[in-house]
Structure 1
């Protein structure tokens, strides 16, 4: 009868496991829009985003991006998070296996007088195993695996972010250099006009007020030139921080070429699902849901009984009264069942907290998908607007240049006033600035689209396996 009772007690957890296995929440369904509502560059054809930067035929930009990714602290931190996640997964897997510890002991004493003193030396091994009846340990492994996939996606996201930030900084610096050239030309022209106006006023051909106006215009242009040069220095230092290169070396590298950036760079897929599927941040949000779901299952499993088995084996010597006797012992057991009875609501609170984290992960995922769609749409709108206004901006600049040349010729012939010349020069400067601003906005929009489309990342391990 005693044996039957013991067997029934041992079988109780197995029976409970068959009746009530804790379940993890099912992942939510996210419905993405079926098409982009913003105009599509190139009619929506898909291009290889991995090679996009090198397809620009700008060796300086490609080298700077490689340099930035090689020495980026952001990418290094992402690699460290992958190592942490791998270690956590290994620890979770180890929890499913029995644990074995070595033990050694040496004692000397007597149990009771008048027994002689005894010396006992033993070495052995002790083993313990908690049987995963309700899948709590397996849920922990699933959560750790999801965290690892999330960390790997974070590494890809860091690569895309660093590349996009480097490209954006590079384009801003190039645009700033273009504006610096425009400002230098404007400042030189105004300084020459001020010199001629002063000579004319000194000779009595024009009133002194004309010379004062010319000097004021030249001083204003000189101030803008100083400000523009300072802005270029700031952009250069930003690029230094991103790439980790020394400023003199970077400045020399930038001076080697001035490659023009094309207006149209690449196309994206017409279906949002094809773009969202390659975004690392969206995949990270998916894995956060998977991990939170598994953690709910683990928390629920913690409310059920635990079944553990232990054992030991020892070999040693006992020396007493001048005699030495071998002492070898082994034991299997106990086979122990631990049933939660009262914990003040701790386990139930852990389940509620895990469910709350799961619901938070779902909400963040939905928000991330919405933001991803919005970012692509906004980038497409910005590109379309820049492309459509490009002809008008360039036409305006050409005509303002022609008008300024005509007014300047008439001014030198004495047929136009200085006020008329300065008005024409101001319009020309604004038009030239608008052209450079258009190119900068278009380049920035392309970089935003590259980032919004997930760069060149695909959901496989090939790129990750190649990392150093």
Structure 2
């Protein structure tokens, strides 16, 4: 078997030599455009002054949710990410893209295959039966030499695809986190409204009870009695409506997290410290230059990588219109005997190039190139659209923050004034110098003012969540060949 070992070593040596020639460019040239990162179509500065956003300390946004110091919110966020179908689909697409990169890398390298066979054959020519034994070992190697960069462009295309899928997975995670946070915020806001509505309903019922007693002794007119009872019923109705909204918020959290309703209820009511209180978002700083902010949005990065993928695909399709050169090699070793003769040894080997020339395809390859160019233009249009929408979301979030910060002191001042007015009217009524109609109107006005304060505080928290979502959350642009700690954690 010395000869066989020599030729096997030679074939492996050739495969190893050509594998070392794997290049990121074609051997002769690389067809297709070299991708240049697109310039984002955004203004040089934010149009909305980011005054509120700049009041915070620069912190790592990856830990933003933990800095709420709300364990209930943390639990709900983790459960929702594990159950989210959008996150699961995005993660599966990452695995698919990784497989494509591996296939593209393998296509540019030599491959080595082997077959081993043994068979026994019986035959005769009208006389005695002859038995033939045959044993065969084949080794085949082939390598397509990337003359015009088609394989290099294919690898470039799939690497861009992997980066796009990676960013899309992060975008799905940030979207789920923002959705759950808003649902949790709505639940706590409903608790505050229930607390205010219950306070109002208790006051109205007590007023109705006292007026009814006075009416029985003729100290109050029947109209006052009817008005107080109607006011009490209206207060109870408002309370029931608020309770309905809270219960619907629970159903939404159950659907998002996949937890049992009893478990969600237990989480929401376990701690008295966070009940009927809005989560307090920690402020953070955003860069004043829109382009730097938007490049940290995973959906923008994904769209930009889609554009790079489309650019590389033009080169892939162009390379199909040029000759293709392949180097193939084969070693076959066999031993056979025809009984009763002894085994005989035979060997064959071959090594040589082959070239294929595209001659006529009725315009199919040219059409594929034009299709790839059209897909590139579509990807460029999509990137511009994603960037414009991203800039709009940041601007809107900043507007909401600035508006809430400017309006909140005024609303709080109004609520204090209405509360003082209600106390004064109640004192006048108890002294017999006022009327019940004024008291009820003032009470409703005071409750409305307190509700407006709670609503504006809720709007401020929602605006912070929207800004966090608008700048891409805690995502960082990690190259696709570097393992992502968050993805590795999800795998575990």
TM-score w.r.t. length of structure 1: 0.89
Aligned to 1:419: 437
Match of 1:75 in 2: 87
Superposition pairs of residues 349-360 of structure 1, within 5 angstroms: 349-360=367-378
Q: What pairs with 1:209-288 in structure 2 (closer than 5 Å)?
A: 209-255=223-269, 256=271, 257-258=273-274, 261-262=279-280, 265-288=283-306
Task: Please list, as runs of the form range in 1=range in 2, the aligned pairs for 1:80-229 lying within 5 A after superposition.
Answer: 80-105=92-117, 106=119, 108=121, 119=132, 120-229=134-243
Q: Distance in 2 between matches of 1:165 and 1:312?
A: 60
Q: Is the 8 A contact 2:68 2:282 kept in 1?
A: no
Q: CA deviation at 1:432?
A: 1.5
Matches within 5 A, 1:1-20: none
1:392 to 1:418, Cα distance in 2 relative to 1, 3 A: same
**Using the alignment, how far apart are the partners of 1:113 and 1:296 within structure 2?**
65
TM-superposition CA deviations, 1:227-269 (whole Å, max 9, x none): 1101101112222333333333332332302255448722322
- Measured in 1, the distance between the counterparts of 2:91 and 2:103 equals 19
Residues 330-349 of structure 1 aligned to structure 2 (within 5 Å): 330-333=348-351, 335-349=353-367
SS of corresponding position for 2:65: helix
Matches within 5 A, 1:426-445: 426-445=444-463
| TM-superposition CA deviations, 1:261-297 (whole Å, max 9, x none) | 4487223221112311211111111111111111111
Gaps of at least 5 residues in structure 1 are 1-16
Measure the CA separation in 1 of the matches of 2:153 and 2:27. 17
Cα deviation digits, residues 146-180 of structure 1 (max 9, x gap): 11111221222222222212221111111110001
Q: Is the 8 A contact 1:296 1:354 kept in 2?
A: yes
- Residue 83 (structure 1) shift: 1.6
1:19 and 1:56 mapped to 2: Cα distance? 58
Within 1, Cα distance between the matches of 2:127 and 2:315? Answer: 60
The verdict on how the C-alpha distance between 1:284 and 1:192 changes in structure 2, with shifts beyond 3 A counting, is same
Cα distance, 1:444 vs. partner? 0.8
When residues 62 and 20 of structure 1 are mapped into structure 2, their CA distance, relative to the original with a 3 A threshold, is: closer
The size of the alignment, in residue pairs, is 452
Please say if residues 304 and 340 of structure 1, whose CA atoms lie closer than 8 Å, have aligned partners that are also in contact: yes
Q: Residue 383 of structure 1: CA displacement?
A: 0.5
Residue pair 1:39, 1:380 contacting (<8 A) in 2 also: yes
**3-state SS of paired residue (1:445):** helix
Q: Distance in 2 between matches of 1:43 and 1:185?
A: 35
Q: 2:427 aligns with which of 409, 421, 428?
A: 409
The SS at the match of 2:234 is: helix
- Please give the alpha-carbon distance, in whole angstroms, between the structure 2 residues aligned to 1:214 and 1:418: 8
Distance 1:358 1:117, change over 3 A: farther
Is structure 2 residue 340 aligned with structure 1 residue 326?
no
Quickly say closer, same or farther: Cα 1:312–1:344, change in 2 above 3 A.
Answer: same
Distance 1:311 1:114 in 2: 42
Q: Which one of 23, 33, 41 corresponds to residue 24 of structure 1?
A: 33
Distance 1:18 1:249, change over 3 A: closer
Paired with 1:464 and 1:199, the residues of 2 have a C-alpha distance of 66
Describe the superposition over 1:342-368 as per-residue Cα deviations: whole angstroms up to 9, x where unpaired: 112111111111111111111111111
Unaligned ranges ≥5, structure 2: 1-25
> For 2:400, which of 382, 402, 408 is the aligned residue?
382
Structure 1 residues 135 and 233: CA distance shift in structure 2, 3 A: same
Residue pair 1:240, 1:246 contacting (<8 A) in 2 also:
yes
For the residues of structure 2 that align with 1:86 and 1:111, how far apart are their CA atoms? 56
1:386–1:441 CA contact under 8 A, matched in 2: yes
Residues 1:51 and 2:63 aligned together: yes
State the secondary structure of the residue aligned to 1:330. strand
Q: How many angstroms does 1:112 deviate by?
A: 9.6
Aligned to 1:7: none
Q: Which moved more, 1:236-245 or 1:297-306?
A: 236-245
Find out whether 1:65 has 2:77 as its counterpart: yes
Change (3 A) 1:350 1:75: same
